[in-house]
Amino acid sequence: MKIVRRVSELRDEVRRARARGAERVGIVPTMGALHDGHLSLVRAARRDGDVVVMSIFVNPKQFTESADLAGYPRQEAADAALAESAGVDVLFAPDAAELYPDGFATTVHVGGPLTQTMEASGRGPEHFDGVATVVAKLLLASDADAAYFGQKDAQQVMVVRRMVADLGIRTRIVACPTVRDRDGLALSSRNVRLSAEERSRATAIPRALEAVEAALALGETSVEALHARAAAVLTAAGISPEYVAFVDERTVRPVSEIADPVLCAIAARVGSVRLIDNALLALPDPTEEH
């Protein structure tokens, strides 16, 4: 595995790989503190392509809380070892000055409901400006054929897809399934900051999603009723969510009934740790045998 820190070096590595015959380059953008969720994205990129690039960059432009940025775990040596063992060919680990040099004055902004609801309500619209800007830079720098993201960050994936379509960036955006721990909690770099008691309470988040899915399977399609099911599970664990949203999976517009595929997304603080999770809801197939 080659570690590079400059955009010019990354471009040179990709150019040389293509000259050697590599047809498909995949990139896995991360902020480090790698876990098996990240590594599952590497494995997907490895299956699909000839060259796998991973970026590790704690992007200051997508943090709206300075304490969250300061407290974000940084462990490059351990991350590099994990990346190499998972099959990464090129690790791109720039500093902030490389991606945002003196005089940097451009922001990529995706407008409309995609960046005005859910995560934007708690983190501010500038959060997705930071995401769109850094992802655009990474895709252009790597000239990747595909980029791999986790479905846990569903709204982020939707924003990136919109940005890529609008700007005509050729990279295909691939959303991979959320990876969960044995207790059901979605893997996140923030999970290590949970105490044992908080960790136990946090499992109410995936259990709330499971309660919604179970009710839907029994024929309940009213979002009001499904919201109440999720809220009951969270309340029982002493969790007051920032939101429990039921939105169209393409537009993130709120819905009142489950018809087309709907994203049920939850954000909540457990202690000082902010966690997100989601499930894609669809009506049971009436042709399936029971």
User: Are 237 and 208 contacting, i.e. CB atoms less than 8 angstroms apart?
Assistant: no
Those residues with Cβ within 8 angstroms of residue 277's Cβ, 6 or more apart along the chain or in another chain:
152, 178, 186, 205, 206, 209, 265, 266
> Per the annotation, does 162 bind a ligand?
no
> Per the annotation, does 152 bind a ligand?
yes
**Strand 273-281 versus strand 262-270 pairing type:** antiparallel
> Per the annotation, does 155 bind a ligand?
no
> Per the annotation, does 188 bind a ligand?
yes
Catalytic choice (38, 109, 127, 227): 38
From CA 230, how far away is CA 267, in angstroms rounded?
Answer: 12
Those residues with Cβ within 8 angstroms of residue 52's Cβ, 6 or more apart along the chain or in another chain:
25, 26, 27, 28, 42, 45, 46, 87, 88, 89, 90
> Per the annotation, does 135 bind a ligand?
no
From CA 193, how far away is CA 22, in angstroms rounded?
Answer: 40
> Per the annotation, does 216 bind a ligand?
no
198: exposed, middle or buried (Cβ count in 10 Å: 0-12, 13-18, 19+):
middle
> Per the annotation, does 151 bind a ligand?
yes
**38 catalytic residue (yes or no):** yes
**Strand 146-150 versus strand 25-30 pairing type:** parallel
> Per the annotation, does 38 bind a ligand?
yes
> Per the annotation, does 109 bind a ligand?
no
Tell me which H or E stretch contains 243.
strand 243-248
> Per the annotation, does 179 bind a ligand?
yes
> Per the annotation, does 33 bind a ligand?
yes
> Per the annotation, does 227 bind a ligand?
no
> Per the annotation, does 170 bind a ligand?
no
Q: What is the dihedral of CA 33, 35, 41, 45, to 10 degrees?
A: 80
> Per the annotation, does 137 bind a ligand?
no
> Per the annotation, does 189 bind a ligand?
yes
Angle at the Cα of 268 from the Cα atoms of 246 and 36, rounded to 5 degrees = 95
From CA 213, how far away is CA 142, in angstroms rounded?
Answer: 39
Q: Which of 40, 47, 59 is nearest to 178 (CA)?
A: 40
Quote the radius of gyration of the chain (alpha carbons, Å).
20
Binding site for beta-alanine: what residues are annotated?
Answer: 62
Binding positions for (R)-pantoate: 62, 156
Binding-site residue numbers for ATP are 31-38, 150-153, 179, 187-190
Q: Which residues are catalytic?
A: 38
